[in-house]
Copies of this chain bind each other. A is one copy, B any other.
Amino acid sequence: MSALRELELRHLVALDAVASEGTFGRAADRLGYTQSAISQQIAALERLVGERVFDRPGGPRPVELTPFGDVVLRHGRELLSRADSMHDELDRFRNGGVGRLTVGTFQSVSSAVLPALVRSMRTRHPDLEIRGRESPDDHELNGLLAAGEVDVSFIGGAPAPEFECRHLLDDPFVLLAQPGRFPDGPVNVSDLVGEPMIGQQPHSCQLLNEGSLRAAGCDPTYVFRSEDNGTVAAMVRSGMGVAILPFLCLEIEDPRLSFHRLEPVLPPRQITLAWRAGRTLSPAAEEFIELADDECSRLAATMSAFT
């Protein structure tokens, strides 16, 4: 289309320098070229735009912008300043300071892990735009990741093969009961046979839990299911039944409930952070992964004190 596609920023820099210095020679000194080079650069610019941009009065008098050159210069300075601001933003992006980071997550991570992470990221990079997409379903989270709608995603289940991922945490299943319902300490899975159970809806996490129970010899009967962990806890407090939940779902300070390890230990839910393999991550995403790793190490330490 436009012949201006051959324009180079160098030309505009030269134009600007000559316009402010008044002579080709001083502009050349300022830019580290010879006078001849500036003369040729301006000539090239004039060839591109099709008009003289400077009047050369001849002799020792300084050159002066033509009206046309003045228009070129005004637009040129605008272009240069855009290029500078691009440079600035690239620098900030390089260290994670700007851009958008979208994270896939599910409920227990959203409430137990993510808030601290978002807080750190926001204090480090106030201008970074952080978004989240929550789903109880691993399959949906995988889909969001594959489609590029999230940059990284927490995954509760098995790491899908087309993703790169980092294992962050083993989240053990814990028995939740009315205080006194069981003696303090670990509870054997066989003691739960026939016990009415409260559970979550049958999505990936819950199904893992149920499968493990059956494999350990206990075929659970669910008398109530809710996606809301507060509701599950309330039902347990009411005596409707007991519940097995991932540790991260628990409000461990609640004195109206008691928590028990299970024996044998059910295979814990593995919490990993996944991203598309072979795709370059944004610096913000890279940093997020490291912070998530740190945060989960701290969490693991806290958890081991409770179980």
Contacts and interface: CB of A to CB of B under 8 A. Distances in A.
Interface stretch (A77-85, A153-161, A197-205): A77-85
A71 interface: yes
Interface in A38-67: 49-52, 55, 57, 64, 66-67
Contacts of A87: 2-4
- Name the prevailing secondary structure of the A interface residues: helix
B86 A75 contact: yes
A281 B67 contact: yes
Nearest to A71: B93
A94 interface: yes
A4 B89 CA distance: 12
Given A83-B2, A84-B2, A67 B280 contact: yes
A87 B2 CA distance: 7
Contact of A55 (B55, B67, B279): B279
Nearest to A279: B55
Contacts of A5: 9-10, 13, 83
Contact of A280 (B10, B68, B84, B85): B68
A280 B55 contact: yes
Contacts of A90: 49-51, 68, 71-72, 75
A67 B99 contact: yes
Copies of the protein in its oligomer: 2
Contacts of A6: 9-10
A66 to B, nearest CB: 4
B84 A99 contact: no
A8 interface: yes
Contacts of A151: 67
A223 interface: no
A3 to B, nearest CB: 8
Contacts of A281: 67
A128 B201 CA distance: 70
A108 interface: no
A285 interface: yes
A231 interface: no
A278 interface: yes
Contacts of A66: 279-280, 282
Contacts of A67: 93, 99, 151, 280-282, 285
A4 B91 CA distance: 12
A94 B51 contact: yes
A11 to B, nearest CB: 10
Q: Which of A3, A98, A280 has the most CB of B within 10 A?
A: A280
Interface of A: 1-10, 13, 49-52, 55, 57, 64, 66-68, 71-72, 75-76, 78-79, 82-87, 89-90, 93-94, 98-99, 151, 278-282, 285
Which 8 pairs of residues, A with B, have the shortest CB-CB distance?
A: A67-B282, A75-B86, A66-B280, A4-B87, A2-B87, A8-B8, A71-B93, A55-B279
